[in-house]
Structures are given as structure tokens and as C-alpha cells.
Structure 1
Amino acid sequence: MRDSLKGPQDPAPHDAVPSTTLGSGRANVVLLVVGLGALAVSLAQSVLVPVMATLPADLDTSATNVAWLLTSTLLVAAVSVPIMGRLGDMYGKRLMLLVAIGSLIVGSLLTAVTDDIVLLIAGRAIQGASAAAIPLGISLLSTTMPKERVGSSMALVSAMLGVGGALGLPLAGFVAEHTDFHALFWINAALGAVAFAGIAALVPESSQRAGGRIDLVGSFLLGAGLVCLLLPLSQGSDWGWSDPLTLGMIAGSVVIFAVFGWAQTRIRDSLVDLKTLASRPIMLVNLASICFGFALFASFIGTASYVEAPEASGYGFGSSLLVGGLVLLPSGVAMLLLAPLAARLIASWGAPRTLALGAVVIAVGWAGRIVLTDSLWEVTLFTTVVGAGTGIGYAAIPAMINTFVRSSEVAAANGLNTLFRSLGSSLASAVGGSILAGSSVLVSGISMPSLDAYRVLFAVCAAAAVAAALLVLLVPRTSPTGTPSPISA
């Protein structure tokens, strides 16, 4: 049984330093192209959401088949992110970042040129592998940017997880009203191509590598466990939450994860260092990340459809797809603008308190959504507050992760954290869908969620944010060696 896959010369977690010194000008360009790649990937994950309702007619297929355009991306992303993170630590973070962006380009081009539902699902599945670009980009910048810019750079790329979603919805709304949905994939392919060329030409490779070999057994078990967990979460509303298939797959995921954990303690070069993953700081920040992912995705499913509902629903404004997306645009801008401020707060307050602040801001935003419902500007304002809190929180998460893992394991740890955020989004989709379906009103013969259902969803989001704040405040104020942690004030 192994204790750790680290060699004796691995630095302590808080001793990690950038391996490459970049001039100010080149550092700006490196951040730009890596951030652009992260933005393109985040856009790809959300850009279809507003047009899903029209795709069955456009593609002459069933709504169940169309749902796989989202499910295939989710499943491949969940499986590929931790594996590609580990490969990034082993063979080079820049190399695997290029692989991730390359999969975005290939998947986008395939989906841009076909109306065949099978090929569209295949293209979206290929796009799913690109989700690893964000944790790989964070890890690469942490080892290549000038020391004084590491915090703000990681904060900016981490925030792209939310920024892309907030920008993707109005973009999709505009496209839906003016042209064919294939244009969305051409845009993704173009952004990905620019980012790929920039990273290949201008971004240096990190010199930090981990030894070992690929853990095929662990990769298979992790992938199988994630599929068995996430597939029923994404399809449960169609299958039925009490259906034997739904319950059986969830139970199967528990068994598979138990076997995975047992195997990881007995494989020399394991996929996941369970000792690090189970450490109190990493465990707490990953649990908090689930809460953050929940609150952010619920903002998407609880905003656009809310304002697009007819006024007869008692809460909606009868807005168009474009307006429904534009309501979320200020929240994306807030995430982007607050990333540098969050980096300064991390330096002065410490990452745990900064993350807790972001969670509290999110809770305030959701509380406002519960109480103030009369005007479109009120919905936009408090949705922006949620986005601001998410931006602050997402900026602090990688700082906490990087402090408590060895430098040779940074990409794998950030990849797993991204997986936990995605799990929170999947839970939001499942729980939010059930809440909204549980209480409905009839408007012109059409059933739609009631205002009370939305308020319950918002209250659950506020509670998740408070839970995240409490969790991160339990993170110890010293690093594993007993010295003061740089993330603690």
C-alpha cells in the first residue's frame, strides 16, 4: 500500500513557486489566451440551454434525444476532467490544455456542419473533454505567471466558469432570434482556434512534473461511478425518481465509488491521492464548491425562464429569449470585474474568509430574489448580486486548493475540484427541476412553475450559500507543515 505518489523532493504545498519568469507584457498575453480558452469552454457548456425547447422541431427528433446534447457533454466532462488533470501533472499542463482546447474545436466543427442528432450528440460529447481546460489553465498559470500575478490570474480563469454561462445565454438568445443554432458552434470553434494558436505560440510549459504511470483501473472505476451518479441526476425527471433504473444506478455509483476508494489505496501510482483529497482543508473546500456550483446553475435555470414567463403567471414579464439572457449579462460582467478585487481580498483577508464573503453575498442575492419580484430591474439587480458573490468565491477556490496540495499535483487537484463544482450544478438541475415541477399554475392551458416554487428554489440556494460559508470558515489557518498558510490572514 502506498502512502503517497510524491517523490522525496516534492515541495510542501505552500512552497510552490512559479517555474517561469515572464515579463509584464508577455504575462498579459499569456493570461489573455488562456482566459479566452477558458471562456470558449464555458460558453460551450451553456450555450445550448436557451434553444433546447426549439431543437426537437428543428432536428425532427424527440425531446429525449435532444436532452442528450447536454447529457453527453456533462458525462464526458465529468470523466475526462480528473483524468486529464492527472495527465497534465505527469506530461505537461500546457500540452493537456492544448488537447482540451483541441477537443473543443473538433467537437464544435462537427456540431456546426450537421443536423443528424447522432452526430450532434457525438460532437457534444467530444466538446465535453474540453471542460478540463479551466483547471488545467489555472494550474498552468500558477506555475508560469510572475509571483505577484498568480493570484489574480487564477482568479480570472476560475471566474470564467460562471462568466461563460452568463454570457452564453444572451448570445444564444440573440442567435435564436436572428439565425440558425449552428452559428453557436461556429463561434465556439473560432474562439477555440484563436485560443489554441495563442497558447501553442506564446504560453510556456510548466517545468513541474509528477512521476508515475496512468492508473487505468482507477480511471475506469471513477468514470463508471460518475456515469452511474450523473446520468440519473440528469435524466431522473424523465425516468422518474422512484424508477428502479434511477435508484439502481445511484446505488451502483455508491458501490463503485467504494471499490474505487479501496483500489486507490492499493495502487502505487493511483489516479487520486486519497490522503490529500480526504484532508480537512481539501474536503471542506470541495464540499463548499458543490454548494457554489448549485447556487450558480440555479441562477441560470431560475432566471431566464422566470422573466420569459407570461405576466399571467403572476411573476413573469413575457420577455423574449434575448431579454431573458440579457438579464444574466450583468452577473457575468460582475464576475469578470470582481476577479482582481477578489485576489486582493485573498492577499489581505485570506482565501477562506474571501470565499465565505462570496457565499454571504450570494445568499443576500437569493434573499432579494425571494422578496422583490415586481420589476425586471429588481430581478436583474439581485441576479447580478448572485453573480458577484460567485465571482468572489470562484476566485478564492483555486487559491485554497493550491495551498494544500503539492505542486506536482496541482492540476489533478483543481480538476477534481472542478468536478465537485459540476456535481453541484447537476444537483441544482435535478433538485431545481423537481422543485419547479412540484408546484405549477395553468396559463392559457399550459402548466408552468408557480411563484412559490421559484421562491422555494431561491431559498434552497440561499441555504446552500450559507452552508458554503460555514464550511470554509472551518478550514485550518495553518498549512500541513504547521507554518502559517498564505491563504490565511
Structure 2
Amino acid sequence: MTGSPAAPSRGTAAPFAALLLAVLAFSLMQTMVVPALPDLQRAFDTSTTTVSWVLSAFLLTASVATPLLGRVGDMFGKRRVLIATLVTFAAGTLLAAVSNSIGMLIAARAVQGIGAAAFPLAFGIVRDSFPRERVPVAIGLISSTFGIGFGIGMVIAGPITDAASWRWIFWVALAVIVAGVLAIVAFIEESPIRSPGRVDWIGVVLLTGGVVALLLGISQGKPWGWGSPGVVGLFVVAAVVLAVFVVAERRIREPLIDIGLLARPAVATPHVASFILGFALFGAFTLVPLLAQTPSSFGYGYDASVTESGLFMLPMAVTMLVASPLAGRIGMAVGFRTPLVLACLVGVAGFAVFAVAHEHAWAIYTGSAVLGVGVGFSFAALVNLVVSAVDPRQTGEATGINSIMRTIGGSLGAQISATIIASDTLPGTAVPVESGYTTAFWMSTIALGVATATVLAGPGRPRRPAAAADKGDPGNDPAQPTRSATH
């Protein structure tokens, strides 16, 4: 360690607002483009498979950039790397706004994906610079921004597209990004904590290749067929390349990712939970708008427009905003495994409501609100568990991996949910039968039950982190390496 966290020379309010603005810019871009996909397909006269790359390219780059730039931030300075990340993100957004071909737009979205690194970098800045007692709540709120932006993006994209055009989605996002860059420059000071070393380019290449093959296989499972040679081949390549990556990282002196760290139960448990939660939750994000837009003449659905369907997700964003700081306070009092268990159980209840009563609009709103509590609790608890379990010099690396686990789980869950509802359609139409939605919702319910069991089986016992810190436990001191995550 080349330094120790210093108390912020300014108050925490302005730096915290700056970090929230920075991560909000990325979280909005996750879904703002989704309602515009039909418009993009018409504007560029392209196929459904091709236009789907507007999402896939963003996801692929984000998955690789998250752990990589999180690690680079640990090495060279989190503020410096965060600013560079946001500037690159802004450049990609500008390119998207002026794109005159589908290829140019896909390339722009790939550049935009680099903005995903804002999350691990923001977590690291909070841990390094904020007073210890404020770290859990701050991390919880920043984590919840991932889901809040996801929901808000779905809600506001429709009105923007209807009132202007799809290009204004990117112009609005660009304004938020620029504001975020200016706020970071003005209010964030560079952290003195460093993890000196060299960039492990072998690890970068192997991780990139493995993750790209895996997510490409997942994203193309539906259009190509899950048993097709292309998809199976991509999964085989991903397995081989990632296995080589693990072997190489164990032998490299300064690895991109500390494999030994990931093997520790205190770190592995929240990573596995993040994968399962992503798998379950992203199903709701993608299926609820589709269900709402289905014409009621088919026996279910709500005849919702793109704008109206987004409103079904609004309760989730509202309750998530309330739940995240509450999870931080609960975690400070009894340990962060407790809010994570509660998150899984609340999620089970929310998806059960979807599964048994989705023919009623009140059930969709209620289930969305309940899930918002679960998402807010889970995002806050997961990152705090990871942060408390690692050396401050590994914060970006560890939280980056947690994000990529959620992304991979979410990609797989969204694709499998889409495959389930598309497997059986009403005669003479491409409209899914209602039972497909029921099955997909029950699948997410069961997945969250598995996540509950995983967390309960992992290490940790409820206790007060502050009390432990008073006794000199470095596991609760952001300035010291941790032995294990027991909270």
C-alpha cells in the first residue's frame, strides 16, 4: 500500500453526488435504447438479429471493461481512470447520436460499454475517501443506481423517442455524462491508495476472449438455436479460454485477477449470489414490458404503449431508492449477510406475485414494488460484502468481478426467459402463450430460493461491524487488509 485513506478535505455530500451522477449516466444507457430498437431497425432497414447487436456490443465491452479498468484504477488512481472512462463513454455516446449506419451505431455502443467501469471505480473512491461509518450506506446507494437507472431508462426512453427521435436518447445521455465528468473533476480528489504493478496483458487478452465467447454464445442462443454448432462451439471456446486464463493467472507474478482471492469463501459467496440474482432479476426487467405491451385481445396483456409499459417498472425504481440506504443501515447494525438473505426472500415474494396474479395490473405494480426492495437490498449488500472482504488495494478488481458475474447471470437469465416464452405461441401468431410468462416467473422464483440457500451456506455471522472495528478487527477498517468477511 502506498498510502492510507485520508479524511475528505471537503464534505462528503458533493463528492457523493458527483459519483452518483457518474454512475447514473451509465445505468441509464443500459436500457434507454431498448424501447427504440424497433425504430432503429426501421431507420437502418436491418434485421432483428443485426439490431440486437446494439445491445450485445454494449454488454460485451462492459463485461470486459469492468474488471480490467477496476484493476487499472487500483494501480494508477481511481479518479484519473474514472475521468478517462467517462470521457471515452461520452465519445461513444456522441458517435451513437450521429451514427448514419447500423455498423457505426454498433461500434459506438461497444465504446459506450467502457462506461461500466464507473461502478468499481466509484466503490473504490468511496472506500478510500469516505468516513468509515458512511461507507456502507454510500455504497448501497451507488449500487442501487445500477437498477434505478435501468428502470428509469425504460420509462423515459419512450417519451423521448415519441417526442423527438431515437438520436435524442443519446443526446440526453451525453448531457448527463458531461455533467458527471465536470462533477468528478470539481469534487473528487485522487485517492492515495495504490496497488503498484504492471498491466497483465496476457490476462487481459484471455479474459476478453473468454468472456466475449461466453456472452456471444448466450446472446445468440435464441436466434441461432441453443444446440447449434455455433453456440455450442462458442461455449466450448469460452470454457477452454477461461480455463487457460485461470492457469495463467495463478502463475503470473502480478495477475490481472487474484484467483486465490476469488477462491476465498468470503469473496466467492457474494460472487455466486450476484450471478444467481442477475439471472433471476433481469427476467423481470425484460419480460414485464413485453407482457404489458401484449394486446388484451389475446386473452392477457394490457395494450400498453412503449411509454406506458415502462411505467409498470416505475415502482421498482422508487422502492429501490428507499431500500438501498436502509440495507446499509441494517448491514452496519447486524452484518450485510442479513440484508442479502432478506433481498433473496423478498425477491421470491415479488416473483411469486408475478407468477400467480400477472393478469391483474395491480399485481404487476405490486410485484414491481416488492422486487425493488429486493434489488435495492441485494445490490447494497453484495458490494459491501465484497468490499469488506478484500484489501483496499483490490477493491476495483473484486467489485469489477462481482459486476461481471451479475452481467453474465443477467444475460443468461434474460435469454432463457425469452426462449421460454417464445417456445410456444398462440396459433397463427408470434404472440407467446400466457403460460410461458408464468413458467419464466416461477423460474426466477426458484432461482432466488437457490440464492437464499447459497448465502445461508456461506461464511459469516451477524455482528456489528463498528463494534468489531472498536476491538481492532482490520476486517472492518477500510484502511487495513481484511482477514475474512464475517459480516
The bucket for the TM-score relative to the shorter chain is: over 0.9
Report what 1:355 is aligned to.
340
SS in 1 for 2:430: strand
1:476 counterpart letter in structure 2: P
2:355–2:438 contact (8 Å) kept in structure 1: yes
1:437–1:449 contact (8 Å) kept in structure 2: yes
1:306–1:316 contact (8 Å) kept in structure 2: yes
Report what 1:236 is aligned to.
221
- Tell me the alpha carbon deviations over residues 242-289 of structure 1, each in whole angstroms, 9 at most, x when there is no partner: 111110110111111111111111111111101111111211111100
- Tell me the alpha carbon deviations over residues 97-135 of structure 1, each in whole angstroms, 9 at most, x when there is no partner: 112211221111111112311211111011001011012
- The CA deviation at 1:409 is 0.6
After superposition, where does 1:327-476 map in structure 2 within 5 Å? Answer: 327-442=312-427, 445-476=428-459
- Tell me the alpha carbon deviations over residues 84-106 of structure 1, each in whole angstroms, 9 at most, x when there is no partner: 01101100111111122112211
- Tell me the alpha carbon deviations over residues 347-375 of structure 1, each in whole angstroms, 9 at most, x when there is no partner: 11211111010111011000011111232
SS in 1 for 2:431: strand
After superposition, where does 1:51-450 map in structure 2 within 5 Å? Answer: 51-442=36-427, 445-450=428-433
- Tell me the alpha carbon deviations over residues 48-103 of structure 1, each in whole angstroms, 9 at most, x when there is no partner: 11221232112222222211111111111111111101101100111111122112
1:162–1:296 contact (8 Å) kept in structure 2: no
Residue 36 (structure 1) aligned with residue 21 (structure 2) = yes
Query: TM-score, normalised on structure 2?
Result: 0.93
Tell me which of 4, 8, 15 is aligned to 1:22. Answer: 8
Report what 1:15 is aligned to.
none
Number of residue pairs matched by the alignment = 471
SS in 1 for 2:254: coil
CA distance, structure 1, for counterparts of residue 460 and residue 342 of structure 2: 17
CA distance, structure 2, for counterparts of residue 249 and residue 319 of structure 1: 37
1:362–1:390 contact (8 Å) kept in structure 2: yes
CA distance, structure 1, for counterparts of residue 414 and residue 339 of structure 2: 27
1:20 counterpart letter in structure 2: A
Residue 50 (structure 1) aligned with residue 39 (structure 2) = no
- The CA deviation at 1:450 is 1.6
1:89–1:408 contact (8 Å) kept in structure 2: yes
- The CA deviation at 1:439 is 2.1
2:2–2:194 contact (8 Å) kept in structure 1: no
- The CA deviation at 1:488 is 4.9
1:468 counterpart letter in structure 2: A
1:10–1:407 contact (8 Å) kept in structure 2: no
- Tell me the alpha carbon deviations over residues 12-51 of structure 1, each in whole angstroms, 9 at most, x when there is no partner: xxxxxx713136x731111111111111101111111122
- The CA deviation at 1:330 is 1.5
SS in 2 for 1:440: coil
1:353–1:473 contact (8 Å) kept in structure 2: no
Report what 2:480 is aligned to.
none
SS in 2 for 1:446: coil
1:83–1:271 contact (8 Å) kept in structure 2: yes
1:46–1:165 contact (8 Å) kept in structure 2: yes
CA distance, structure 2, for counterparts of residue 205 and residue 333 of structure 1: 32
Deviates more, 1:374-383 or 1:353-362: 374-383
SS in 2 for 1:57: helix
Deviates more, 1:249-258 or 1:463-472: 463-472
CA distance, structure 2, for counterparts of residue 458 and residue 483 of structure 1: 42
2:39–2:166 contact (8 Å) kept in structure 1: no
CA distance, structure 2, for counterparts of residue 484 and residue 139 of structure 1: 17
- The CA deviation at 1:10 is 8.8
1:420 counterpart letter in structure 2: M
2:161–2:169 contact (8 Å) kept in structure 1: no
1:465 counterpart letter in structure 2: L
1:163–1:332 contact (8 Å) kept in structure 2: yes
CA distance, structure 2, for counterparts of residue 36 and residue 70 of structure 1: 22
- Tell me the alpha carbon deviations over residues 452-482 of structure 1, each in whole angstroms, 9 at most, x when there is no partner: 1101111111111111122122232279xx9
- Tell me the alpha carbon deviations over residues 186-211 of structure 1, each in whole angstroms, 9 at most, x when there is no partner: 11100000010010111011111001
- The CA deviation at 1:485 is 5.7
1:290–1:421 contact (8 Å) kept in structure 2: yes
CA distance, structure 1, for counterparts of residue 224 and residue 191 of structure 2: 46
Query: TM-score, normalised on structure 1?
Result: 0.93
CA distance, structure 1, for counterparts of residue 104 and residue 278 of structure 2: 29
SS in 1 for 2:426: strand
CA distance, structure 1, for counterparts of residue 279 and residue 87 of structure 2: 28
- Tell me the alpha carbon deviations over residues 195-251 of structure 1, each in whole angstroms, 9 at most, x when there is no partner: 100101110111110011000001100000001100010012111111111101101
- The CA deviation at 1:408 is 0.6
CA distance, structure 2, for counterparts of residue 313 and residue 276 of structure 1: 52
Report what 1:6 is aligned to.
none
CA distance, structure 2, for counterparts of residue 463 and residue 266 of structure 1: 39
Q: Which ranges of structure 2 fall in alignment gaps of 5 or more residues?
A: 466-471, 477-484
Report what 1:4 is aligned to.
none
CA distance, structure 2, for counterparts of residue 462 and residue 224 of structure 1: 32
